[in-house]
Amino acid sequence: MEKENSDTVLPNYHIADIYQGGYSSLDSGYGPVFTGYHAPLVKTGETYGSRLGVSTDPRTANILKEVSEKIAPGEKVIELSAIDLGAPIEAIPKQHWDEIRRLSKLTGVEVTVHGPITDASGVVEGRQFDEERRKMVERKLLQALERSHQINPEGNIPVTFHTSNQLPGPVWERNEKGEIETVMMPVVNQETGQINQVRKIEHYAPSGIEKEPVQKEIYKAEDQLRIMNSNEWSTSIDQVEFNRQRAVEIMKDVHPTVIGRYLQFKTKKIKEDDLLPEEKQYIKQIRSAEAYLREAKKSADGLFDRGYKYGDDREKEILKAFAERYSKTLGIKGEEVDPTKYFNPLAQSEAIYELTQGLNHIQPKLFVKSEEYALEKTAKSYGNVAFEAYKKFGYGKEKDTTPLVLIENPPAGGGLSRAEDLKNVVEKSREKFVEQAAKSKEQGGLGMSKSDAEKRSKELIGVTWDVGHINQLRKFGFTGKDIIKEAETIAPLVRHVHLSDNFGLDNVELPMGMGNVDFKEVMQKLGKQGEEARKIVEAAHWWQFQQTSPMGVSMEALGSPIYGMKQGPYWNQSSGFQQGYFGGYGAFLPQINYETFGGGFSNLPTELGGQRGGGGQAGGRGRMSGTPME
């Protein structure tokens, strides 16, 4: 190469001649698992610190061992996973919670809690809702808050719970137009709590067209729900009318004078002995008709009850109007009755007919989407739990130390698993909290103003957003853009983030950067809420199969700063700090040099007079003798 002055470009100069092939410490975007998102250091008080943490292994109740091991590498946030996966929260002695508190205070490590995974709606094995079960779960959730308070009795410890566990969810698919639609939907009978399902189906019927006598129609799941409600209601009304018509048929040849005599007998104006033989025969018919009318009245009353419970405000007004006409036809006025109408089978038949006309004017939702039904139940549980915790640890205290109730989206496909569902659960739970807190103390409330109760509810009830769980929408045909929109929907309510990666099909928990979760885009949509939130690495399957900590690769994936400053270098650049064996000079100061020559002759192989075991002790293959031929 010819020497040229400093202003001349060297003709044979190539960067490949000096670049050693590793990841550049000058480029913050390099790294084998880097997601493109740099987890920032967040200012707490006067210092900046990481909000990245790791959960304990959910398969064990030995939280002392778990937390001690997680603290050792230097994590500053640890989530105690008490989710009942093999080890229920009741298996953890209360003394261990106290010891975790001491460890947390001694090391300056912040501890959060993942409470038991259960169904706050009270659903049993995905088949039926049970109110007593809901109350039992509510007590379990409250106990989890109380036990979590042991760990941080001076602050507001975040405690995460799922919206659901066994609650079945809908099934979606992308149709020919490229739109996501519901093809299967769980529904619940509001009267019994029994869960069924409706599906999108193809329906064939005569078309009346000569060339195409059979017509195919597509009934969507929502259409099937509407048909189910319509059929159930009309069939029940038909049963009422059947019994009424049977009574009318029996009464058609009964002369009005006989009915008059019967009314005299019913009002005790005459005795049975005063009746003529032929009158007694007709009265038997009247009594037979009354039996059918009683059945009709019983069924009509039941329908009225269901219609009033599950109808909307307009339908309730309709029923009120027909109830007034029913009473008038039967001669009911207050506590008094007109016996000539009230005991008259013909008047009874007419009154029941008028009542069924009212029932025909409404279409109550006897069956509703199970998620719609579960929303009310779930919100009631979380609203009550947050209120009871606030009542015990916050209200009237010098310092409010109420644990935070953070509600998480379960794996996509389960009930209440999407962003809009989670948003509705949180907002409805806050409403329930406000209802309770605004009641007078005599009614079991706190007598708080509505505005104060609303403010407190927003502070105590929020969202834990699991980026891995929502990614499983992909198995239903959702795209990455669809999943980003989910994050955008929930962003204003997020207080806590769970990190796990997967490929969108199964609920596996890998460290970030090892699946197809578009983490950078998700965090951009979560904005400031996501940036300031604690971000907990949940990698149960990594613990189980790889049996190593997921924190190293997670810090690489999230581009966390290596030093406690808001600048590089970052962990995703760490592999570029020292090149591989074939790059540069290689490991020119290997540890074996120090072990062999820095520790005296004792570390030499036995063949050379030292104490280190050599290959000659196994299989006749000595260090100095070479390897015998096989």
Structure tokens at 401: 């130390």
Residues 410 and 543 reside in one and the same domain: yes
Q: What is the DSSP letter of 208?
A: S
Structure tokens at 181: 């639609």
Residues 518 and 429 reside in one and the same domain: yes
Residues 416 and 352 reside in one and the same domain: no
Q: What angle do CA 203, 204, 209 make, to 5 degrees?
A: 140
Residues 130 and 36 reside in one and the same domain: yes
Residue 326 CB contacts under 8 Å (≥ 6 apart), including other chains = 351, 352, 354, 355, 358
Tell which of 333, 365, 397 closes a domain: 365
Which parts of 122-220 fold into alpha helices (H)? 131-151
The Cα 409–Cα 231 span in angstroms is 35
Q: What residue type is 614 in one-letter code?
A: G
Residues 46 and 157 reside in one and the same domain: yes
Q: In angstroms, how far apart are the furthest CA atoms of the chain?
A: 142
Q: Which among 301, 314, 333 has a CA at the least distance from the CA of 236? A: 301
The Cα 461–Cα 472 span in angstroms is 25
185 assigned to some structural domain: no
Residues 353 and 372 reside in one and the same domain: no
Q: Which among 512, 511, 500 has a CA at the least distance from the CA of 550? A: 511
Q: Which residues of 524-559 are buried (b: 16+ CB within 10 A; e: fewer)?
A: bbbeebbebbbbbbbbbbbbeeeeebbbebbbbbbb
3-state secondary structure 391-431: HHHCCCCCCCCCCEEEEECCCECECCCCHHHHHHHHHHHHH
- Segment 370-417, tens digit of pLDDT: 999 999 999 999 999 999 999 999 999 999 999 999 999 999 999 999
10-residue averages of pLDDT along the chain (630 residues): 48 50 58 79 58 85 88 86 76 92 92 95 94 96 96 96 95 91 96 94 82 86 94 95 95 90 88 85 91 96 95 95 93 89 93 94 95 97 98 94 98 96 98 97 94 97 97 96 96 96 92 92 92 89 78 82 67 61 46 58 63 54 49
DSSP states of 580-592 as a string?
Answer: -TTSTT-SSS-HH
With a pLDDT cut of 70, the percent of the chain lying above it is 83
Q: Specify the pLDDT at position 403.
A: 98
Q: What residue type is 14 in one-letter code?
A: H
Q: Provide the residue range defining the domain that includes 291.
A: 227-365
Q: What residue type is 597 in one-letter code?
A: F
Structure tokens at 49: 């610190």
Q: Which among 200, 55, 86 has a CA at the least distance from the CA of 538? A: 55
566 assigned to some structural domain: no
Query: Which contiguous run of DSSP H or E holds residue 463?
Result: strand 461-466
Residues 328 and 375 reside in one and the same domain: no
212 assigned to some structural domain: no
The Cα 472–Cα 72 span in angstroms is 33
Q: Specify the pLDDT at position 483.
A: 96
**Cβ–Cβ under 8 Å, residues 362 and 307:** yes
Query: Roughly what angle, to the nearest 10 degrees, separates helices 345-360 and 277-310?
Result: 20
The Cα 422–Cα 408 span in angstroms is 7
Residue 303 CB contacts under 8 Å (≥ 6 apart), including other chains = 233, 236, 237, 240, 359
472 assigned to some structural domain: yes
DSSP states of 546-608 as a string?
Answer: I-S-SHHHHHHHTT-BSSSSSS--BGGGGGGSS--TTSTT-SSS-HHHHHHHSS-GGGSBGGG
Q: Specify the pLDDT at position 608.
A: 62
Domain count across the chain? 3
Radius of gyration of the chain (CA): 37
Residues 436 and 355 reside in one and the same domain: no
Q: Specify the pLDDT at position 3.
A: 45
267 assigned to some structural domain: yes
Q: Specify the pLDDT at position 563.
A: 67
Compute CA 104 distance to the chain's CA centroid, rounded to the nearest angstrom.
29
Strands of 278-414 (E only): list them.
Answer: 332-333, 336-337, 367-369, 404-408
How many C-beta neighbours within 10 Å does residue 248 have?
A: 17
**Cβ–Cβ under 8 Å, residues 57 and 82:** no
Q: What is the DSSP letter of 447?
A: -
How many C-beta neighbours within 10 Å does residue 123 have?
A: 30
- Segment 535-583, tens digit of pLDDT: 999 987 787 777 777 887 888 888 877 766 556 677 777 665 554 433 4
Query: Roughly what angle, to the nearest 10 degrees, separates helices 221-251 and 345-360?
Result: 170
The Cα 92–Cα 99 span in angstroms is 11
Structure tokens at 219: 């009934």
Residues 313 and 231 reside in one and the same domain: yes
Q: Specify the pLDDT at position 593.
A: 59
CATH code for position 451: 3.20.20.150
**Cβ–Cβ under 8 Å, residues 137 and 167:** no
Structure tokens at 556: 């690489």
The Cα 250–Cα 258 span in angstroms is 14
Q: What angle do CA 502, 50, 577 make, to 5 degrees?
A: 80
Q: Specify the pLDDT at position 2.
A: 45
Q: For residue 21, what are the CA distances in angstroms to 16, 18, 278, 579? A: 8, 9, 114, 8
Residues 232 and 296 reside in one and the same domain: yes
569 assigned to some structural domain: no
Q: Which among 255, 253, 275 has a CA at the least distance from the CA of 264? A: 275
Residues 68 and 91 reside in one and the same domain: yes
**Cβ–Cβ under 8 Å, residues 370 and 187:** yes
Tell which of 365, 398, 432 closes a domain: 365
Residues 461 and 378 reside in one and the same domain: yes
222 assigned to some structural domain: no
234 assigned to some structural domain: yes
**Cβ–Cβ under 8 Å, residues 121 and 186:** no
Q: Specify the pLDDT at position 278.
A: 86
The Cα 22–Cα 583 span in angstroms is 8
Structure tokens at 207: 């078309």
